[in-house]
Amino acid sequence: MFSKACEYAIRATIYIAVQSNQDNRVGLKDISKEIDSPEAFTAKILQQLSKNNIINSIKGPNGGFEIDKKDMSKINLSQIVMAIDGDTIYKGCGLGFKQCSEKQPCPVHDKFKVVRDELKHMLETTNVLELSVGLKKGLTFLHR
Protein backbone atom coordinates (compact mmCIF):
# COMPACT_ATOMS: atom_id res chain seq x y z
CA MET A 1 0.00 0.00 0.00
CA PHE A 2 2.53 2.56 1.18
CA SER A 3 6.29 2.42 0.68
CA LYS A 4 8.45 1.39 3.62
CA ALA A 5 9.70 4.96 3.77
CA CYS A 6 6.14 6.20 4.09
CA GLU A 7 5.33 3.71 6.82
CA TYR A 8 8.35 4.88 8.81
CA ALA A 9 7.34 8.48 8.16
CA ILE A 10 3.88 7.98 9.63
CA ARG A 11 5.19 6.08 12.63
CA ALA A 12 7.87 8.68 13.28
CA THR A 13 5.45 11.57 12.99
CA ILE A 14 3.05 10.00 15.47
CA TYR A 15 5.86 9.34 17.94
CA ILE A 16 7.18 12.89 17.63
CA ALA A 17 3.65 14.15 18.16
CA VAL A 18 3.21 12.21 21.38
CA GLN A 19 6.52 13.50 22.70
CA SER A 20 5.96 17.08 21.56
CA ASN A 21 2.64 17.04 23.36
CA GLN A 22 4.64 16.47 26.51
CA ASP A 23 7.17 19.14 25.48
CA ASN A 24 9.84 16.58 24.77
CA ARG A 25 12.04 17.19 21.78
CA VAL A 26 13.26 13.83 20.44
CA GLY A 27 16.40 12.84 18.56
CA LEU A 28 16.92 10.51 15.63
CA LYS A 29 18.31 7.70 17.76
CA ASP A 30 15.30 7.83 20.05
CA ILE A 31 12.85 7.85 17.17
CA SER A 32 14.35 4.99 15.19
CA LYS A 33 14.59 2.90 18.34
CA GLU A 34 10.99 3.58 19.28
CA ILE A 35 9.51 2.93 15.84
CA ASP A 36 11.96 0.08 15.13
CA SER A 37 13.37 1.48 11.91
CA PRO A 38 16.88 1.71 10.43
CA GLU A 39 18.49 4.85 11.82
CA ALA A 40 20.19 6.32 8.74
CA PHE A 41 17.22 5.58 6.53
CA THR A 42 14.94 7.21 9.07
CA ALA A 43 17.18 10.30 9.04
CA LYS A 44 16.52 10.75 5.32
CA ILE A 45 12.81 10.43 5.85
CA LEU A 46 12.80 12.95 8.69
CA GLN A 47 14.62 15.37 6.39
CA GLN A 48 11.82 15.01 3.88
CA LEU A 49 9.18 15.56 6.52
CA SER A 50 11.06 18.62 7.73
CA LYS A 51 11.36 20.06 4.21
CA ASN A 52 7.62 19.56 3.84
CA ASN A 53 6.98 21.45 7.08
CA ILE A 54 5.40 18.44 8.75
CA ILE A 55 7.97 18.36 11.53
CA ASN A 56 10.55 20.87 12.75
CA SER A 57 14.19 19.91 13.02
CA ILE A 58 16.67 21.62 15.32
CA LYS A 59 20.40 21.10 14.95
CA GLY A 60 23.03 21.08 17.64
CA PRO A 61 23.05 20.06 21.31
CA ASN A 62 19.56 19.51 22.65
CA GLY A 63 18.45 19.48 19.06
CA GLY A 64 16.10 16.95 17.56
CA PHE A 65 12.64 16.90 16.07
CA GLU A 66 9.34 18.31 17.24
CA ILE A 67 5.88 19.33 16.10
CA ASP A 68 4.12 22.51 17.15
CA LYS A 69 1.25 21.58 19.43
CA LYS A 70 -1.12 23.89 17.59
CA ASP A 71 -0.29 22.17 14.26
CA MET A 72 -0.92 18.61 15.33
CA SER A 73 -4.61 18.53 14.56
CA LYS A 74 -3.91 20.07 11.15
CA ILE A 75 -1.37 17.49 10.05
CA ASN A 76 -3.21 14.60 8.46
CA LEU A 77 -2.02 11.31 7.01
CA SER A 78 -2.56 12.57 3.49
CA GLN A 79 0.10 15.24 3.92
CA ILE A 80 2.62 12.67 5.11
CA VAL A 81 1.83 10.25 2.29
CA MET A 82 2.05 13.03 -0.27
CA ALA A 83 5.40 14.20 1.13
CA ILE A 84 6.98 10.75 0.89
CA ASP A 85 5.14 8.77 -1.79
CA GLY A 86 3.75 11.63 -3.85
CA ASP A 87 0.30 11.54 -5.38
CA THR A 88 0.51 8.16 -7.10
CA ILE A 89 -1.94 6.73 -4.60
CA TYR A 90 -4.50 9.31 -5.70
CA LYS A 91 -3.76 9.73 -9.39
CA GLY A 92 -2.42 6.28 -10.21
CA CYS A 93 -4.43 3.58 -11.93
CA GLY A 94 -5.21 0.27 -10.27
CA LEU A 95 -3.92 -1.61 -13.30
CA GLY A 96 -0.78 0.48 -13.71
CA PHE A 97 -1.60 3.14 -16.30
CA LYS A 98 0.45 6.24 -15.63
CA GLN A 99 -2.64 8.29 -14.95
CA CYS A 100 -6.09 7.17 -14.00
CA SER A 101 -8.61 8.60 -16.42
CA GLU A 102 -12.38 8.77 -16.77
CA LYS A 103 -12.10 9.17 -20.54
CA GLN A 104 -10.07 6.02 -21.12
CA PRO A 105 -10.63 3.94 -18.01
CA CYS A 106 -9.10 0.56 -17.34
CA PRO A 107 -11.49 -2.35 -16.68
CA VAL A 108 -11.36 -1.97 -12.91
CA HIS A 109 -11.58 1.81 -12.90
CA ASP A 110 -15.13 2.24 -11.61
CA LYS A 111 -14.72 -0.23 -8.80
CA PHE A 112 -11.19 0.79 -7.94
CA LYS A 113 -12.08 4.44 -7.75
CA VAL A 114 -14.59 3.83 -4.99
CA VAL A 115 -11.98 2.19 -2.78
CA ARG A 116 -9.30 4.72 -3.64
CA ASP A 117 -11.60 7.60 -2.85
CA GLU A 118 -12.44 6.10 0.50
CA LEU A 119 -8.75 5.67 1.21
CA LYS A 120 -8.19 9.27 0.22
CA HIS A 121 -10.99 10.44 2.47
CA MET A 122 -9.61 8.42 5.36
CA LEU A 123 -6.12 9.84 4.92
CA GLU A 124 -7.42 13.39 4.66
CA THR A 125 -9.62 13.18 7.72
CA THR A 126 -7.22 11.40 10.06
CA ASN A 127 -4.94 13.78 11.88
CA VAL A 128 -1.78 13.13 13.81
CA LEU A 129 -3.19 14.40 17.10
CA GLU A 130 -5.93 11.79 17.26
CA LEU A 131 -3.51 9.02 16.34
CA SER A 132 -1.15 10.13 19.10
CA VAL A 133 -3.91 9.90 21.69
CA GLY A 134 -4.44 6.16 21.31
CA LEU A 135 -0.72 5.59 21.44
CA LYS A 136 -0.28 7.61 24.62
CA LYS A 137 -3.15 5.72 26.21
CA GLY A 138 -1.39 2.46 25.41
CA LEU A 139 -4.16 1.31 23.12
CA THR A 140 -1.98 1.25 20.02
CA PHE A 141 1.67 0.47 19.30
CA LEU A 142 4.52 1.65 17.09
CA HIS A 143 6.42 -1.64 17.23
CA ARG A 144 6.07 -5.22 18.41
Partner DNA sequence: ATAATAAAAGATAAATTTGTCTTTTATTTT
Partner DNA sequence: AAAATAAAAGACAAATTTATCTTTTATTAT
Closest residue by Cα to residue 77 from 17, 120, 134, 25: 120
21 binds, among DNA, a copy of itself, ligand FES, none (CB under 5 to 8 A by kind): none
100 binds, among a copy of itself, DNA, ligand FES, none (CB under 5 to 8 A by kind): ligand FES
Residue 72 near a copy of itself by CB under 8 A: no
The Cα–Cα gap between 35 and 15 comes to 8
For DNA, give the closer residue by CB, 44 or 69.
44
For DNA, give the closer residue by CB, 21 or 50.
50
126 binds, among ligand FES, a copy of itself, DNA, none (CB under 5 to 8 A by kind): a copy of itself
Burial class (CB in 10 A: 0-12, 13-18, 19+), 67: buried
